[in-house]
Amino acid sequence: MSTATITAQDINKLRQATGAGMMDCRKALTETNGDFEAAIDWLRKQGQKVAAKRSDREAKEGVVIAKTTPDNKTGIVLTISCETDFVSKNADFVAFAQSIADAAVANNVKSAEELNEVSINGAKVSDMINDKLASIGEKIGVARFERVEAPYVASYIHGAYRMGVLVGFNKEAGEAGKDVAMQIAAMNPLAVDANSVPAETVE
């Protein structure tokens, strides 16, 4: 049986498609005799194995992304979790989270479960998460997803993607809407008004 020649171009192409490390891509292509699609599947299965091994790990770090539709009538905020702040501060990881948030907005997603089934460039979000998990070696996932619909929705991200705010208004708010969202991030209020404060908190 002949063995396919694995070139640097092949490895780079697989890295670009999956985000996996160079050595992992080389091994995947070697294991699949240079079959590109089979190599992607091999990496995905490796990611599932890593996910199973790390399932009991705590993913307390992550990035928060808040986005609105172009007409500002719908907004989503989500957290993509990871295990360490080293990963959460990585530009590639932030871009990965941004791409998932963009897909959530573009596909009118209403829940984390629905988001996991959305496809980005032909790959499901859940599979992309497994691929990313395999490449960085940390437990990651969609830890939280919220959606707001209103006549006008403003969004704000505080700090290095550590906190996200969505605010629904009963009319167009413009810059004032962003200012309110910033104040919410700064003050962390319990409720919109006094009547909305939980009774147990008042007591």
Residues 25 and 67 in one domain: no
Query: Tens digit of pLDDT for each residue in 17-54?
Result: 776 778 888 888 898 888 888 888 887 777 666 655 55
Residues 85 and 36 in one domain: no
Domain residue limits at 15: 8-53
Q: Report yes or no on 65 lying in a domain.
A: yes
Residue 152, H or E segment:
strand 152-158
- Residues 176 and 169: their CA atoms lie apart, in Å, by 10
Parallel/antiparallel/unpaired status of strands 119-120 and 123-124: antiparallel
The pTM assigned to this predicted structure is 0.72
Exposed (0-12), middle (13-18) or buried (19+): which is 162, by Cβ within 10 Å?
middle
Residue 153, H or E segment:
strand 152-158
Instruction: Give the lowest-confidence range in 25-29, 96-100, 130-134.
Output: 130-134
Q: Report yes or no on 1 lying in a domain.
A: no
Give start and end residues of each alpha helix (H) in the chain: 8-18, 22-31, 36-53, 85-88, 91-106, 112-117, 125-136, 174-187, 199-202
Q: Report yes or no on 203 lying in a domain.
A: no
What is the number of structural domains in the chain? Answer: 2
Residues 81 and 173 in one domain: yes
Q: Report yes or no on 190 lying in a domain.
A: yes
